[in-house]
Chains A and B, each alone.
Chain A
């Protein structure tokens, strides 16, 4: 019998969203179209139009050692060209941001190849070969996992995910990399990931309404969907805990659990 891949338990809205974001067969909704050059500007690793920096010759030119794994794995484009590894890092507010750090890691690893993720409480870094990163970053900024007010693009000084929201509903950023354009009711980036001022303002669009965000979020909260109201998710976590506990202490008791 062929194994049918499972993604996440539960019947609640956050659980369903977790499954959607992780499942590579689900095409995530594109909500905006930030120009690729602007994505490159916000990330700040290279100037638009500038060549990619290389850290090794293209694989086809180099003498690869004899290795069965190398024969099995098809390199991603950036690896083929010898691109350096660069990053994008998102900060996700606790206040119903569409996605949160662990789901980002799960989603990235489920949907992309050649990525290295690092998960912290407020932010999630994703490191990839540069040309692949740019494609991926644009997808992530354009799609439904990004909200202009509650998702931040931040290389350093990332705190803010747990701070209250400002008078325009924006997540706090000590560097004020983005500001509120009151005329257009949009969020505009004025600094890049590491807070170097941009030479042009880049709009990432209008924030979603809180009502919609509650439908899109993966975060369980007492003032939204409480995890304990999703019995399957609650029991899933407790079961992992129980099995690990028994496995490390009285492994014979795992039988039948």
Chain B
């Protein structure tokens, strides 16, 4: 990439008045926290609240003096949006919340099994007309409408505007017969080659993408999504196929909806104390499939990997590790490094150039040729670390070692995955980066990196179930992965990188992939950083707001 303008230059110039290569600056002269627009706003708000409630609240003068150095804005990578770090905290950013809401409230429920029950057990006919009638009914029941009992409470539609059910299938003829308002149209939403792969992978199965209201998932938890869906789907079957509410077949509908369905997150062990369908159970390959960049920008595999990283950072690092597992406010700073300021962007596109110029292109490097893989990994990792060393502005932007370790390892891992088309090779390169990073600089991340990253080389190819899994189906709950912020983002990008490099239409699950192509979702999963940026600018409009039931 010699001669090319570094992709992080614009952000560096916006952050600091000095040149990005300058080592020297001034400190302690910027007016402290008052240089931050959001801090000033926070303090004013807190003062008003404290006065009203009679209990002290946020006081920016408590603790370390904030703003002793220039208060950096952050550019959302591959966008023109700049934001303050406060606005990227998941509690302050309703786009990040909606990304997780949209994942959690989704459950995929097959219609083939209920249709067999209706036809074979009850002797009733299932036709495109009956399916359309069912879909109209289920789009009444899932948002919270009643159909069976005559005196029944219902959910206010203004609270559940985001709730609906759509279907999709690889059977074009059947889909042609379904009311288009209820269809996720694979042919229209995906490039032709991807559409063919996906239809071939899912076959003639007719799958429902059920979107439970955001507010339901928030009020209960991820585990309730399958229950809400199962109850309302069963009611829709009773009503649309004129069934007896008490007949045994109804149990089959409920059973299939609850147990033959596809949650986005798997069950976690009891020590995590969560139900299924919570973020710690989402496999990396699923998250990679949820990220949709390669559907809309099929000629930009780098962007696809980077958007998967961004989604993983927001949902896994910020919401799950930062919120569910840790609590507090500390994780934003670590996690956002992976999707701001085009730093990881620069490293990944450099890696792509190297793969094309020195390693024959995507998927041409033999995944069993460890010496060549190490050569590539060492090249990319050295480039990433060199950029920090040659551009003090980049070093200061990622002022925590965990940020730099993540970003260097993510670019190295993505490189290994793209060069070979094998996600586990990418994972192995991640750990190569960590070991060489520690050796080069004499430092890495915080304590936890010593465990996770020092032993990772040894488990990166292990497939035995108590030691390892293919990267596509590992997740945040994999042993050792539940402790370190700044890893789960990169781990999401690595399998994505392998599969986009291969030209695959999906990473782990075609059903998940198609479900999140749906333009009716509130969060646009093809433009993750842009959506988070809109959240930071407070332009994003989330679902599930309660204003409809609050007087005034």
Contacts and interface: CB of A to CB of B under 8 A. Distances in A.
A226 B441 CA distance: 10
Given A163-B69, A222-B386, A245-B460, 5 more contacts: A121-B445, A164-B23, A175-B64, A220-B439, A248-B467
A160 B25 CA distance: 13
A50 interface: no
Interface string A45-61: 00000000000000000
10 contacts: A94-B388, A122-B400, A159-B399, A161-B399, A162-B395, A176-B28, A226-B386, A242-B370, A248-B457, A249-B460
Contact of B442 (A103, A169, A240): A103
Interface stretch (A34-42, A135-143, A182-190, A227-235): A227-235
A241 interface: yes
A157 B399 contact: no
Given A165-B23, A166-B25, A245-B461, A227 B439 contact: yes
B457 A176 contact: no
A238 to B, nearest CB: 5
Interface residues of B, number: 56
A161 B25 CA distance: 14
Given A101-B443, A233-B439, A245-B457, A166 B26 contact: yes
Given A218-B442, A222-B386, A223-B390, A162 B447 contact: no
Contacts of A119: 443, 447, 450
The 4 lowest CB-CB distance pairs between A and B, nearest first, are A121-B401, A100-B442, A248-B458, A244-B457
Contact of A174 (B64, B395, B398, B457): B64
A120 B446 contact: yes
Q: Which residue among A92, A195, A228, A245 has the maximum number of chain B CB atoms within 10 Å of its CB?
A: A245
A172 B401 contact: no
Nearest to B400: A121
Interface in A7-65: none
Contacts of A103: 442
Contacts of B374: 238, 241-242
B414 to A, nearest CB: 18
A226 B418 CA distance: 27
Interface string A96-137: 000111110000000000000011111000000000000000
Contact of B69 (A95, A157, A172, A219): A172
B456 to A, nearest CB: 8
A256 interface: no
Interface string B117-158: 000000000000000000000000000000000000000000
B477 interface: no
A238 B436 contact: yes
A247 B458 CA distance: 6
Contacts of B440: 220, 227
A68 interface: no
Given A119-B447, A162-B398, A241-B374, A99 B442 contact: yes
A81 to B, nearest CB: 29
Given A118-B447, A223-B390, A248-B461, A241 B439 contact: no
Chain A binding surface, main DSSP class: loop
B516 interface: no
A167 interface: yes
B400 A248 contact: no
A244 B458 contact: yes
A15 to B, nearest CB: 10
Contacts of A248: 457-462, 467
B28 to A, nearest CB: 6
A100 B441 contact: yes
B547 interface: no
B402 A121 contact: yes
B371 to A, nearest CB: 8
Q: Which residue among A101, A157, A237 has the maximum number of chain B CB atoms within 10 Å of its CB?
A: A237
A196 to B, nearest CB: 13
Nearest to A104: B442
Interface string B338-356: 0000000000000000000
Interface stretch (B108-116, B427-435, B503-511): B427-435
Interface in B382-428: 382, 385-386, 388-390, 392-393, 395-396, 398-402, 404-405, 428
Contact of A162 (B27, B400, B431, B438): B400
B185 to A, nearest CB: 43
Interface of A: 92, 94-95, 99-103, 118-122, 157, 159-167, 169, 172, 174-176, 195, 218-223, 226-228, 233-234, 236-238, 240-242, 244-249
B518 interface: no
B24 interface: yes
Contacts of A176: 28, 68
A163 B399 CA distance: 6
A167 B443 CA distance: 25
Contacts of A100: 441-443
Contacts of A118: 447
Given A172-B69, A174-B65, A95 B23 contact: yes
Interface in B191-209: none
Contacts of A121: 400-402, 404-405, 443-446
B378 interface: yes
Interface in B5-27: 18, 22-27
Contact of B431 (A95, A101, A164, A241): A241
A226 B396 CA distance: 20
Contact of A223 (B69, B370, B389, B432): B389
A109 to B, nearest CB: 14
A101 B432 contact: no
A227 B22 CA distance: 23
Given A163-B396, A223-B390, A237 B27 contact: no
A166 B445 contact: no
A161 B444 CA distance: 12
Contacts of A164: 18, 22-25, 392-393, 395-396
Contacts of B22: 164
A241 B462 contact: no
A166 B27 contact: yes
B458 A237 contact: no
Contact of B435 (A166, A169, A195, A237): A237
A245 B416 CA distance: 15
A175 to B, nearest CB: 6
Interface in B445-489: 445-447, 450, 455, 457-462, 467
Given A163-B69, A174-B68, A238-B436, A220 B441 contact: yes
A122 B23 contact: no
B551 to A, nearest CB: 46
A124 to B, nearest CB: 9
A60 to B, nearest CB: 35
Contact of B389 (A172, A221, A234, A246): A221
B26 A167 contact: yes
B147 to A, nearest CB: 55
Contacts of A218: 442
Nearest to A9: B439
A246 B373 CA distance: 14
A172 B25 CA distance: 10
Contacts of B404: 121, 162
